[in-house]
Amino acid sequence: MARNFHTSANIAYYLAWLPLTGLVDVLLILQGIGVVPALIVGFSFSLPMAVVGGSARYMCRVLPLRRDRLLQVLPPLGGVTFLISGTWTGLFVIISRALAWLPPGDLMDIAGFLFLVSALSIDFSLVFHYLMIAMEEAQEARQRAEEAKVLSREAELRALRAQLNPHFLFNSLNSVAALTATDPAAAREMVLRMSSFFRSTLAAGRQEVFTLGEELALLRNYLDIEQVRFGERLVVREEVDASLHSLKWPPLLLQPLVENAVKHGVSPSADPVTVDIRALRDGEAAVIRVCNGRDPEARSTGGTGIGLSSSRERLSRFFGDAATMTVEAEDRMFCVTIRIDMEKLK
Amino acid sequence: MTDQLTAVVVDDEKLARQYMLEMLAAFPDIRVVAECADGFAAVKAVNEHRPQLLFLDIQMPRLDGFEVLELVETDNLCVVFVTAFDQYAVRAFDSHAVDYLLKPFSKERLGAAIEKVKRHAGSGLPAIHELRKVVRKDAEYLTRVVVKDGPTIQVIPCADIVCITAEDDYVNIRSTEGSVLKHQSLAGLEESLDPDKFVRIHRCSMVNIERLDRIELLARDKYVAVLQDGTELRISRSGHQRLKELLG
């Protein structure tokens, strides 16, 4: 693709030289030489210039045009223009005199013009190449942005697949196996909840727009399943401002936090532990908070650092600097608080 | 019946225990003498009932399955782990004299486990810390040490340990809470502790690097480690080498 771009840019470049060659021809014809010699002479003046100008591309690469560096870039460019035009005009005059294309007097008359035309055309080459480089860069930037988008989407999908925690799945299935004999209705209920949870987890990754309300529904589903496993050891408290339901939300951002609350709060404790989920308004901010109690005896069940940092990353990718996430880890309590400045979202 | 096996069922989830009991009802040669919902209760029940068979969950409150095994008399105990871990993590169990059941398991699979147990009855347990390494990939080293001190069970976070010294068949674990003896070899304990934190400074002692105050030179090539609580411990030549490497 980049190669095609270069080829077409080169064609455009040499085509653009045709009018300049025409200008030289007109100049020569006005000097009173015949059309055919003027065309031949004009062409042999312009072609080497075009070739030299074509290599200006490398010069433009070396001296990128940047506003803050104009003073460093412009003088060398001017110098180069002057040098190349002067040298070539001089050379051309000498050659054409030696070949006796034109009478010497006429030559001296048009030398000034030739110099001007060649300076102009060198500058034209430079401008042309600078434009081409700018276009190429813009295209590359677009391509990079595309790639980044694809990458982040893939990362998202990977994260979503990881949500289907096998430990959770098999423990839940074990509960179902236990319930089938003693309480078939509860077993059926459990299977339905699990289906609904897995279905919505899978769907969350494909949805164009996902809301906090949907995330909270998914969490309720998840906690209902864990409730069957842990019974009275798990106490769920939920407080949600209904006006936040429509808030656009990165899918499954809270789910791993709640899963951690169960894994590090409820699972290692023999006594009942509360998992507290809140989504409330605080002035112009939305405050979403996941807390769990901890058994101080059961500390050090292993780190959650990696999970939290990936949540933080997803949060900032989605909300930019409108969102902050804070973690409070105390002896008896673990809280993750996400604060979203609604003003900044608008 | 003379060949009836006594069993204890340990799982923190009530439904999981219920399922196990229901399945076991089909095996009249297994008699369940106790069911426990956490590690402490399991240690107590095993020491009290001396069962021949233990169905043991791994992830539990208070003490995990491995810690339970460290604290009970295991000479005549057959252990069947009951976990929800995936097959890869548990495959290594195959090479040991215990069996495992993956939740949820079938009656046939349970029957096979019981058969295996009967064949191996009395052959003892494999090295617990080897098993732990296989299952606990995410937490390679111990974060706490459990010690049975008479009727009470002490759980000592590794960060609180000051130093560990060998005393005959025991190790003396000195922590901020005091000293306690544990029936284990120093080398065995060293293997399961994080080598970036615990360093063997002598044939019979290791220290928590965080609790080290200073190193004093007594005579040529004779060093002594002074710990934050004032304890002084001899450092051997190779111990000094290891300390230097760790401290940089």
Q: How does residue A68 score in pLDDT terms, banded at 50, 70 and 90?
A: confident
Domains of chain B: 5-135 (3.40.50.2300), 144-247 (2.40.50.1020)
Same domain, A141 and A222: no
Give the pLDDT confidence score for residue B136 in this predicted structure: 56
The average pLDDT across A303-309 equals 64
Which pLDDT does position B139 carry in this prediction? 55
Show the DSSP H helices in B121-217 as ranges.
128-135, 186-192
In tens, the pLDDT along A4-58 reads: 666 777 777 778 777 778 877 887 777 777 777 777 777 777 777 777 777 777 7
Q: What is the DSSP letter of A248?
A: B
pTM of the model: 0.65
**A231 contacts in chain B (CB < 8 Å):** 13-15
Q: What is the pLDDT of residue A1?
A: 46
Last residue of a domain, one of A153, A187, A220: A153
Q: Is residue A135 in a domain?
A: yes
Question: Which residues of chain B from 14 to 43 reach within 8 Å of chain A, CB to CB?
Answer: 14-16, 18-19, 22, 37-38
Boundary-marking domain end, from A153, A186, A211 = A153
Kindly determine whether residue B61 and residue A166, on different chains, have CB atoms separated by under 8 Å. no
Task: Note whether B15 contacts A175, CB cutoff 8 Å.
Answer: yes
Q: Are residues A129 and A211 in the same domain?
A: no
Can you give the pLDDT at residue A216? Answer: 96
Sign of the four-CA dihedral A42, A45, A51, A56: negative
The alpha carbons of chain A give a radius of gyration, in whole angstroms, of 37
Q: How far is CA A61 from the centre of its chain?
A: 25
Residue A158 lies in a domain: no
Q: Is B190 exposed, middle or buried (0-12, 13-18, 19+ CB in 10 A)?
A: middle
Angstrom distance (rounded) from CA B15 to CA A178: 6
Query: Is the CB of residue A302 less than 8 Å away from at least one CB of chain B?
Result: yes
Tell me: do A142 and A193 sit in the same domain.
Answer: no
Which whole number is the average pLDDT over A74-99?
81
CA–CA–CA angle A115, A119, A124 (5° rounding): 145
Mode of pairing for the β-strands spanning B99-102 and B78-83: parallel
Judged by CB atoms closer than 8 Å, whether chains meet at B157 and A299 is answered as: yes
Tell me if residue B245 falls in helix, strand or coil: helix
**pLDDT of A156 higher than 90:** no
Q: What is the pLDDT of residue A185?
A: 95
Q: Based on the domain organization, do A229 and A326 belong to the same domain? A: yes
Looking up residue A339, the CATH number of its domain turns out to be 3.30.565.10
The parent domain of residue A188 ranges over: 164-345
Residue A305 has pLDDT above 80, yes or no: no
- The ipTM, to two decimals, is 0.73
Nearest neighbour of A177 by CB, restricted to B14, B85, B104 = B104
How distant is the Cα of B223 from the closest Cα of chain A, in angstroms? Answer: 34
Last residue of a domain, one of A153, A179, A207: A153
Higher-scoring residue by pLDDT: B29, A119:
B29
pLDDT tens-digit series, residues B22-61: 999 999 999 999 999 999 999 999 999 999 899 998 888 8
pLDDT < 70 positions in chain B? 1-2, 85-98, 121-140
Residue in A162, A160, A171 with CA at minimum distance from that of residue A201: A160
Q: What is the mean pLDDT of residues A98-109?
A: 66
Helix (H) or strand (E) holding A144: helix A104-163
- Number of domains observed in the structure of chain A: 2
